[in-house]
Structure 1
Amino acid sequence: MEVRIIPVTSFEQNCSLLCCESSGKAALVDPGGDPERIKAAIEESGFTVEKIFVTHGHFDHVGAVKVLARELQVPIEGPQEDDLFLLETLPQWCSQFGFPPGESFVPDRWLKQGDQIAFGDQTLDVHHCPGHTPGHVIFHHRPTRIAIVGDVIFKGSIGRTDFPRGDHPTLLASIRERIWPLGDDVTLLPGHGPTTTIGDERRHNPFVQGGYG
């Protein structure tokens, strides 16, 4: 599986295009805005998108989900159902932060801990990681040792918990219980900023010191 990062919006959010070389199929993760830029990247890739996956309901990660699902005629999978309140109020969030209007939506499939998502010949494990939002999920591709972690953890930082229904202790528990066990060699693809590894964050991230305990 090849991953192509498409930075979108003024928030430089990392929309991911997951490409399955054996099937020619692809999936989008968190198309937060700039749908024309995303469509151009899909066309350039030569792959055919068959699904959209969503880590959580914040406006900068889902602003272009509905329009792209409609134009590409593909289903939406994720996040976990506790983020419904964010998806229902998406237009208000976009307006509050000066973003182009985003369409509210309900995914074709809610995800939960232990689920799997699939496209082409690829399968990824779903882990529910609440704290940044209550319904946040991450996606782990075991063959390539890659995890797409949204806004749970970043290089040298962690997700904010000052938005509605964020919770700092819950976020730290999600990192310890759901991300650390994946293994130090796993590459993390955050929703913003550069990639990192679990090992580097366990050793050096000041927000999650004690991760080996």
Structure 2
Amino acid sequence: MLKIRTYPLGPIQTNCYIVKDSEGQCLVVDPGEEGSRIIQKIENMNGKPLAILLTHAHFDHIGAVDEVRDHFSIPVYIHREEQYWLMNPDLNGSSRYPGLPLVSNKAADHFLQEGQITIGPFQFEIRHTPGHSPGSVSFIFKDAQFAIVGDTLFKQSIGRTDLPNGDTNMLLNSIQGKLLSLPDDCKVYPGHGPSTTPGAEKVSNPFLK
């Protein structure tokens, strides 16, 4: 049985997720900041991390990638369309905010594409959900009935599209076709804020009316 834990990190309180199985093996999703805290949480739970998964490569989702990767010697997965964002502060947006550190990581180890994927004991689905950014993806754990969706869909809101390479129509199409098609009671974990469900968003999200 899978368990998911949420850790809001950094100045923008970006949700980092740790998905863990009964044997302690785990996946780290969007280590955006506070790498030492993420490492400590994993070690406290006797976790055995297998990989870092990135929903997309805006700076607040990737700030601790190398610290966590290097500590545990694990690979990083990202969609090919944002492979260079990991290394480039102008692309990942960190150069736009004076006072925040420039974010630059090493290259990813693997590229995500739509479809089923297996990492160790974890079997889940990748859905390409662009709009907030061109390489945004969502991770669908069907058997455990939850999805990690990055900044695509939020509780009663949707992801920003006013950033470079954002596209409102594309985002809405991603939400309607890839996320609201999930079971109404599927737990949806966003990049910021509390979890929700497709059923709740169909009823209460003002952007989806």
1:71-90 to 2 correspondence within 5 Å? 71-78=71-78, 80-90=79-89
Q: Which 4+ runs in 1 deviate beyond 6 A? A: none
Task: Give, in angstroms, the shift of residue 183 of structure 1.
Answer: 1.4
TM-score, normalisation: structure 2: 0.93
Which residue of structure 1 lines up, in the alignment, with residue 179 of structure 2?
A: 179
Q: Which has the higher helix share?
A: 1
CA distance in 2, matches of 1:201, 1:117: 29
CA RMSD of aligned residues (A): 1.5
Summarize deviations over 1:83-121 as a string: whole Å, max 9, x none: 2342231377334323334333321111111142424x2
Which residue of structure 1 lines up, in the alignment, with residue 125 of structure 2?
A: 125
Q: Which amino acid aligns with 1:174?
A: S
Q: Which amino acid aligns with 1:151?
A: D
Which residue of structure 1 lines up, in the alignment, with residue 16 of structure 2?
A: 15
Identity %: 36
Q: Which amino acid aligns with 2:196?
A: T
Task: Give, in angstroms, the shift of residue 70 of structure 1.
Answer: 1.3
CA distance in 2, matches of 1:34, 1:180: 32
1:1-150 to 2 correspondence within 5 Å? 1-21=2-22, 23-78=23-78, 80-90=79-89, 93-97=93-97, 98-119=99-120, 121-150=121-150
CA distance in 2, matches of 1:99, 1:17: 25
The answer for unaligned runs of 5 or more in structure 1 is none
CA distance in 1, matches of 2:56, 2:42: 22
CA distance in 2, matches of 1:166, 1:174: 12
CA distance in 2, matches of 1:52, 1:117: 13
**How has the CA–CA distance of structure 1 residues 117 and 161 changed in structure 2, closer, same or farther, with 3 Å as cutoff?**
farther
Which residue of structure 1 lines up, in the alignment, with residue 155 of structure 2?
A: 155
Q: Aligned with 1:86: secondary structure?
A: coil
TM-score, normalisation: structure 1: 0.91
Is 1:6–1:41's contact at 8 Å kept on the other side of the alignment?
Answer: no
- Tell whether 2:193 aligns with 1:189: no
Summarize deviations over 1:160-206 as a string: whole Å, max 9, x none: 00111100000000001111111111110000000111100011100
The answer for unaligned runs of 5 or more in structure 2 is none
**How has the CA–CA distance of structure 1 residues 45 and 100 changed in structure 2, closer, same or farther, with 3 Å as cutoff?**
farther
**How has the CA–CA distance of structure 1 residues 150 and 117 changed in structure 2, closer, same or farther, with 3 Å as cutoff?**
farther
Q: Aligned with 2:107: secondary structure?
A: coil
Task: Give, in angstroms, the shift of residue 144 of structure 1.
Answer: 1.3
- The number of residues matched between the two structures is 206
Is 1:67–1:103's contact at 8 Å kept on the other side of the alignment?
Answer: no
CA distance in 1, matches of 2:112, 2:48: 23
